[in-house]
């Protein structure tokens, strides 16, 4: 085909960012989890484990607490991949959102995480962003937290003095705060491999495809052979400072046959756990109302998913 004439720049000018946008820290590449933990303890200060870096790269705006060192952990094979074994699913902290997005077919419980990952950031940022980063960054709006809490996820923390396991609700202690010791790192996220009559659903409200959640809800339901709810876990996103379980809402469902009224009541109880804020993106009244709406939809969708599976 004929190509129109294009004027090509003969000598591209070198363009760099203004000085205020440069990051001033040292870079270290860890060769093993032990090496990473050793470096973290050794470097002290605000040394940070660096995976995708999609949050940390924007950290330089927080001038009060600059990052002093980046410990690149992306070479640690031990922390990548998703392993589905006998009684559990183990997700490496380095598993990218793209990997998560493409692993939905591997297990029922991975399906909700795959669907959630697909809602996050952009295709070319999902390739680098990691599940471990999303968890450790502990943003109230982190999309993966509600479904992980609903799945009963636990974090595996490796430290200089051994390994410990904590629930997400224990691990995340506040807005942007986690319980990671100065010589510890998150290595895996574990969820149960329960292939029974169960389903998990995540629902959110966001303005655009690449927006973060204004408000979100996640529900896990397990049904007993008697047609009654055997297990329920409900969590909200973007309206609580840290991940929580809406226990009174869950209690309304467990041991019961699901009716429209019970679902609505549980959804209403879930909304009582929200302490939403008003900001430029939505009012607290709107967020609060949507908690109940989204939770109801989650429960209904769980039910239809379970029924569809039973019919198949």
CB count within 10 Å of CB 280 equals 4
For other proteins, the closer of residues 96 and 217 by Cβ is 96
| Whole-Å CA distances, 42 to 28, 69, 71, 181, 233 | 12, 11, 11, 13, 40
For other proteins, the closer of residues 81 and 181 by Cβ is 81
For other proteins, the closer of residues 52 and 104 by Cβ is 52
CB of 97 vs other proteins, minimal distance in Å: 12
CB of 281 vs other proteins, minimal distance in Å: 15
Q: Is residue 15 a contact residue for other proteins (CB under 8 A)? A: yes
Q: Is residue 123 a contact residue for other proteins (CB under 8 A)? A: yes
CB 132 within 8 A of CB 51: yes
The H or E element containing residue 28 is: strand 26-29
CB 302 within 8 A of CB 220: yes
Q: Is residue 133 a contact residue for other proteins (CB under 8 A)? A: no
Interface positions, 224-253, toward other proteins (CB under 8 A): none
CB 158 within 8 A of CB 183: no
Q: Is residue 139 a contact residue for other proteins (CB under 8 A)? A: no
Interface positions, 43-82, toward other proteins (CB under 8 A): 50, 52-54, 57-58, 70, 72, 74
Interface positions, 182-211, toward other proteins (CB under 8 A): 209-210
Q: Which residues contact 160 (CB under 8 A, 6 or more apart)?
A: 37, 38, 41, 183, 184
Size of site (CB under 8 A) for other proteins: 39
User: CA nearest 131: which of 64, 56, 187, 209?
Assistant: 187
| Beta strand extents in 207-312 (DSSP E only) | 215-223, 229-237
Q: Is residue 42 a contact residue for other proteins (CB under 8 A)? A: no
Which of 128, 166, 254, 293 is close enough to bind other proteins by CB under 8 A? 128
What is the C-alpha separation between 307 and 296, in angstroms, rounded? Answer: 17
Site for other proteins, rule CB under 8 A: 1, 3-4, 6, 8-9, 12-17, 21-27, 29, 50, 52-54, 57-58, 70, 72, 74, 98, 121-125, 127-128, 209-210
């Amino acid at each position: 085909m004929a190509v129109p004439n294009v004027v090509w720049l003969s000598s591209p000018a070198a363009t760099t960012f203004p000085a205020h946008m440069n990051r001033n820290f040292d870079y270290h590449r860890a060769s093993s989890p032990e090496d990473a933990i050793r470096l973290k303890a050794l470097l002290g200060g605000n040394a940070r484990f660096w995976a995708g870096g999609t949050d940390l790269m924007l950290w330089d705006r927080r001038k009060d607490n600059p990052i002093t060192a980046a410990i690149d952990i992306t070479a640690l094979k031990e922390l990548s991949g998703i392993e589905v074994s006998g009684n559990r699913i183990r997700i490496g902290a380095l598993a990218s959102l793209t990997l998560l997005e493409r692993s939905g077919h591997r297990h029922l419980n991975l399906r909700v995480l795959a669907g959630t990952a697909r809602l996050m950031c952009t295709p070319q940022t999902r390739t680098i962003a990691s599940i471990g980063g999303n968890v450790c960054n502990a943003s109230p709006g982190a999309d993966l937290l509600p479904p992980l809490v609903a799945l009963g996820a636990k974090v595996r923390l490796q430290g200089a003095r051994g390994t410990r396991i904590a629930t997400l609700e224990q691990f995340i202690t506040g807005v942007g705060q986690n319980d990671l010791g100065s010589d510890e790192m998150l290595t895996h996220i574990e969820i149960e491999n329960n292939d029974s009559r169960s389903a998990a659903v995540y629902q959110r409200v966001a303005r655009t495809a690449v927006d973060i959640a204004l408000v979100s809800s996640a529900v896990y339901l397990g049904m007993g052979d008697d047609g009654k709810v055997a297990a329920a876990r409900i969590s909200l996103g973007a309206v609580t400072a840290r991940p929580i379980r809406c226990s009174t809402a869950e209690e309304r469902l467990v041991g019961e046959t699901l009716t429209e009224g019970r679902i609505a009541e549980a959804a209403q109880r879930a909304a009582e756990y929200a302490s939403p804020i008003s900001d430029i993106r939505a009012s607290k009244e709107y967020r609060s109302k949507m908690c109940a709406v989204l939770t109801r939809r989650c429960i209904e969708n769980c039910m239809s998913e379970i029924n569809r599976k039973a019919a198949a």
